[in-house]
């Protein structure tokens, strides 16, 4: 058996476009000819039956192990041989032809993020609900209707992800956010969601968090200005509102 790790570039963080590039071309797209381990995420850890590096390539293209969620092994991927009777331990860059042994700081690579995350979804005029959304940048932007912004009003490592231009692009007010003193801190405009932010990527809420935040932000709100202050009053939407 061969103990391996597989690292693939996180396309959302690949601002220089080095994914799928052969090793000799790296210096054309970035400041250094070296492999930037911080762009990578770990997509596989485990033992497989492989006699050489080409065998690993075949397995992760035609016979992917059960539960493997990474892309098919391709150019710019890095294979780490941790322990093997047949292959020299080290890091190997998948090149346009064959593999090239390279230096690679695995500590800089991130753990593979969840493909989907469970969140509490908040929308103007609707009750809070549990939702499962994709974790890619495109999926997150789709959930809030535009570019995302994270807001951190809670003591625990949980945040609200909203549209960063919600207050300026005509979106309706959604929920008021309060501080520990009970005073209104802000109003979120447009759809938003509450998720875990304890790691490097947004993650799923626990069942306890889902229950607490769904109850805390259950009903939509109407907003009034009284004596110069803005007040938020929760209300139960009509059945016709919920069906929209």
The closest alpha carbon to 112, from 3, 10, 239, 230, belongs to 10
Q: How far apart are alpha carbons 52 and 58 in whole angstroms? A: 10
pLDDT, tens only, 13-25: 899 999 999 999 9
Residues of the chain with pLDDT under 70: 239-244
Reported as a single tens digit per residue, the pLDDT across 199-228 is: 778 999 999 999 999 999 999 999 998 877
Task: Measure the CA–CA gap between 11 and 16, rounded to whole angstroms.
Answer: 10
Q: What totals of helices (H) and strands (E) does the chain contain, helices first?
A: 5, 15
The residues, ordered by sequence, that sit 6+ positions from 38 with a Cβ below 8 Å of its Cβ are 108, 109
Relative to beta strand 40-48, strand 110-111 is parallel
pLDDT, residue 241, reads 52
Specify the pTM.
Answer: 0.61
156 burial class (0-12, 13-18, 19+ CB within 10 angstroms)?
exposed
d(CA 25, CA 84): 30
Mark 193-211 as b/e (b = at least 16 C-beta within 10 Å): bbbbbeeebbbbbeeebbe
Residue 31 pLDDT: 83
């Amino acid at each position: 058996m061969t103990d391996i790790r597989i690292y693939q570039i996180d396309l959302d963080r690949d601002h220089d476009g080095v994914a799928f590039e052969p090793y000799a071309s790296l210096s054309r797209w970035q400041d250094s000819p070296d492999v930037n381990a911080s762009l990578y995420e770990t997509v596989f850890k485990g033992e497989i039956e492989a006699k050489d590096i080409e065998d690993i390539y075949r397995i992760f293209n035609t016979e992917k192990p059960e539960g493997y969620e990474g892309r098919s092994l391709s150019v710019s991927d890095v294979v780490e041989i941790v322990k093997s009777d047949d292959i020299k331990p080290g890091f190997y860059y998948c090149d346009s032809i064959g593999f090239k042994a390279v230096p690679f700081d695995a500590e800089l690579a991130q753990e593979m993020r969840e493909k989907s995350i469970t969140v509490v979804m908040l929308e103007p005029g609707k009750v809070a609900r549990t939702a499962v959304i994709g974790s890619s940048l495109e999926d997150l932007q789709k959930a809030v209707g535009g570019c995302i912004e994270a807001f951190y009003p809670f003591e625990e490592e949980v945040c609200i992800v909203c549209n960063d231009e919600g207050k300026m692009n005509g979106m309706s007010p959604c929920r008021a956010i309060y501080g520990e003193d009970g005073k209104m801190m802000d109003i979120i405009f447009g759809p938003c969601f509450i998720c875990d932010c304890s790691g490097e990527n947004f993650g799923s809420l626990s069942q306890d968090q889902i229950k607490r935040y769904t109850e805390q932000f259950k009903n939509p709100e109407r907003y009034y200005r009284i004596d110069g202050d803005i007040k938020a009053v929760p209300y139960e939407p009509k059945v016709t509102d919920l069906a929209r």
